[in-house]
Structure 1
């Protein structure tokens, strides 16, 4: 007999149906309450999305300035002479964990570049000849004006890529199989011409040949004279601290390492400012949404006292009444949260399009926006739910 009189348990589907009933019976109020939450979440999502899109564009521009580019070069010995980097310097630097890219150039001594073999030796035009690693162009963010860059095949043969200033001085505008220069007392085929390289201007007035070819045809000794490295932004300072000892463990004092770009410090400061702004705006948006949910649910309890009394009279327990209003609060918050995230994405996409940016809305913002609204909804709906559950059936039915 006791089992027959015990209240039926509410399944999750029943909880959703009962919780949604309160929203369906007052659609305009539910819509306005959800809209208030959605606007707050949309504002937060849009601010984060627009800031992230702007920051991505800023990062792209700053990356072009070489914010994470460090260079290693030989310094001077204790006696004032010119030091040398070991031939293994590049391989050793590449083993540093945060280093993402590494490439080197090595100056070829005694090799000059001429348009023909009839020009006097003294008229070298100040053009330097460098042996170059295949990854050099990518590491220093160089671009080709014409032709191709060195590859595994051409790096072993008399092929050369000219810097922008070098090509101008030699009067060469188009590379090709028939375009040759007299380099190191032999003919080299011009296979490419570089655009000016802002991050490595020394390459503009240089002629670049493959590392193996420099050793085979120009008697290059294999010692790098400049090593270019790119590291994870957050690890640039740490990498800089170990570069000298890694490049030349026997004489780190004979190694010169460039300091990080000021643009990297500016970007880090900008990121910190953005983070503080987003946290503040998100907190305000969630607070406003929580107040809206709490206000809606308190009013709902006051207006539905008769319904609560009737449900209690029909056998609903206090826990079931509490669960009903808590589910209603969560549904209201979820609708507002999802709608706000979608609206925020739309605003971000539209604004990014007007600025010619790529639209970037972090996943954590979308997931966090919905999750935060559910937490706020549960918190805001808890007091009204407890209040509704405490109403005695007779008191609720007697209410006007």
Structure 2
């Protein structure tokens, strides 16, 4: 009896403590609101999903396009240089490169391949009945046999110029020139100057030589014999070793024209692709901003859904509080519910963004690339939005008086 009284006296100062919620309990109570209102949850998560999908798709499409450009650069190489005739600094007249310019360039240390073209003052047309003024932006050029090898180009149909066919009225068309002339297969004829030339081949696209894509190419010897070509090249293309590109670039102009190197223009055809690859995605910032706005709107929708949920579930909150749930546990419940709601929208958005990127890449013939940082960053943003959106409703729910909540119910 004395021991029982002692235990009662000791228990008077003991304060009851609420049971702690384990991770499983937190997930259970946090998902209760999601399970009870599925339609509202789907609509609320849709705003988050649209924002994340937009952001992931924009980054993915940009990364896929950049990967394609880098793949092109790897295939085409960055060791191609072109030397072209410019204008005289004093007279303003067009400068002619020496006839032996390709041979001179080929003797520069580090140069591996050399090709050349020469502009011809004639036009190419589908037939002699088409007015001479309607050129379609197509130029006629004499071309050396090594030109296609230097450009790392290919023949889509037919064959390239060689010793045997390059001396006769035969022509190879760039892909753009063939399209504009309405030529779709070798063996057809086009009118150049005052006679018909037989089309030997049609080239594949040449990203590093857009001028060649818009040209009708005649053999070097055939151009001299049939079209009055004087043998002076207009442009000299060369491939050098990767290690010697910069040194060759400095030597090209002095080698071709030692007395007036300023009359020779030296360019890097791959520079445009390099710049495009470096700036790819620069114009996607607007779309990223729109995706961010959609994400914020989705966050507002989540907050609104949580506030309504608190108002509708006052009886539940009051009952839990009267049974011993602490304010902290109530806050954890509603923040968890908000996080789960946003997380569902984030997962759906990542999936939709990845699918949109895949469709774009497949239809455009691009590699499918979705950076991991975009996926991780997008999902982290949804969790942040969910936390922020659920804080106010969670605090509001925890401050509800159990008595008043039960009475209101």
TM over 0.5: yes
**TM-score relative to the length of structure 2:** 0.56
Compared with structure 1, are the counterparts of its residues 229 and 263 closer, same or farther at alpha carbon in structure 2 (3 Å cutoff)?
Answer: farther
1:244 aligns with 2:247: yes
1:292 aligns with 2:312: no
Of 332, 339, 351, 1:330 maps to: 339
1:390 counterpart residue number:
399
What is the CA–CA distance in structure 2 between the aligned matches of 1:311 and 1:324, rounded to whole Å? 11
2:81 counterpart residue number:
71
1:305 aligns with 2:314: yes
For the residue of structure 1 that corresponds to 2:239, the secondary structure is strand
1:277 aligns with 2:282: no
1:315 aligns with 2:324: yes
Flag structure 2 segments of 5+ consecutive residues without an equivalent: 1-10, 86-97, 116-141, 169-200, 221-236
Aligned residues of 1:163 and 1:204 also touching (Cα < 8 A): no
Of 13, 23, 44, 1:12 maps to: 23
For the residue of structure 2 that corresponds to 1:372, the secondary structure is helix
What is the CA–CA distance in structure 1 between the aligned matches of 2:341 and 2:275, rounded to whole Å? 42
Alignment of 1:175-254 (within 5 A): 198=206, 199=208, 226-228=238-240, 243-244=246-247
1:22 aligns with 2:33: yes
Alignment of 1:337-348 (within 5 A): 337-348=346-357
Q: Deviations over 1:39-92 (max 9, x none)?
A: 3333444454455556666x38985996956417799xxxxx9897898953xx
What is the CA–CA distance in structure 2 between the aligned matches of 1:167 and 1:4, rounded to whole Å? 105
Aligned residues of 1:70 and 1:229 also touching (Cα < 8 A): no
2:180 counterpart residue number:
none
2:187 counterpart residue number:
none
1:168 aligns with 2:179: no
The structural deviation recorded for 1:327 is: 0.6
Aligned residues of 1:142 and 1:194 also touching (Cα < 8 A): no
Aligned residues of 1:72 and 1:258 also touching (Cα < 8 A): yes
What is the CA–CA distance in structure 2 between the aligned matches of 1:26 and 1:127, rounded to whole Å? 73
2:113 counterpart residue number:
105
Aligned residues of 2:143 and 2:218 also touching (Cα < 8 A): no
Compared with structure 1, are the counterparts of its residues 324 and 197 closer, same or farther at alpha carbon in structure 2 (3 Å cutoff)?
Answer: closer
Compared with structure 1, are the counterparts of its residues 89 and 262 closer, same or farther at alpha carbon in structure 2 (3 Å cutoff)?
Answer: closer
What is the CA–CA distance in structure 1 between the aligned matches of 2:49 and 2:60, rounded to whole Å? 15
What is the CA–CA distance in structure 2 between the aligned matches of 1:383 and 1:27, rounded to whole Å? 22
Aligned residues of 1:164 and 1:195 also touching (Cα < 8 A): no
Q: Deviations over 1:171-225 (max 9, x none)?
A: 8xxxxxxxxxxxxxxxxxxxxx996894477x9969xxxxxxxxxxxxxxxxxx9
What is the CA–CA distance in structure 1 between the aligned matches of 2:293 and 2:205, rounded to whole Å? 46
Q: Deviations over 1:85-112 (max 9, x none)?
A: 898953xxxxxxxxxxxx72269xxxxx
What is the CA–CA distance in structure 2 between the aligned matches of 1:28 and 1:196, rounded to whole Å? 54
The structural deviation recorded for 1:285 is: 1.7
1:258 aligns with 2:267: yes
2:182 counterpart residue number:
none
Question: How many pairs align?
Answer: 300
What is the CA–CA distance in structure 2 between the aligned matches of 1:312 and 1:53, rounded to whole Å? 53
Give the stretch that moved more between structures: 5-14 or 289-298.
5-14
What is the CA–CA distance in structure 2 between the aligned matches of 1:47 and 1:66, rounded to whole Å? 27
What is the CA–CA distance in structure 1 between the aligned matches of 2:37 and 2:156, rounded to whole Å? 67
The structural deviation recorded for 1:354 is: 5.1
The structural deviation recorded for 1:322 is: 0.9
RMSD across aligned positions (CA): 5.2
Q: Deviations over 1:311-356 (max 9, x none)?
A: 2222222221111111100100111111122233334444555556
Alignment of 1:38-57 (within 5 A): 38-50=49-61
What is the CA–CA distance in structure 2 between the aligned matches of 1:38 and 1:294, rounded to whole Å? 15
What is the CA–CA distance in structure 2 between the aligned matches of 1:288 and 1:27, rounded to whole Å? 20
Q: Deviations over 1:218-274 (max 9, x none)?
A: xxxxxxx9334779xxxxxxx98xx138977xx999897424567448736973543
Of 135, 141, 163, 2:152 maps to: 141
Give the stretch that moved more between structures: 353-362 or 35-44.
353-362
**TM-score relative to the length of structure 1:** 0.57
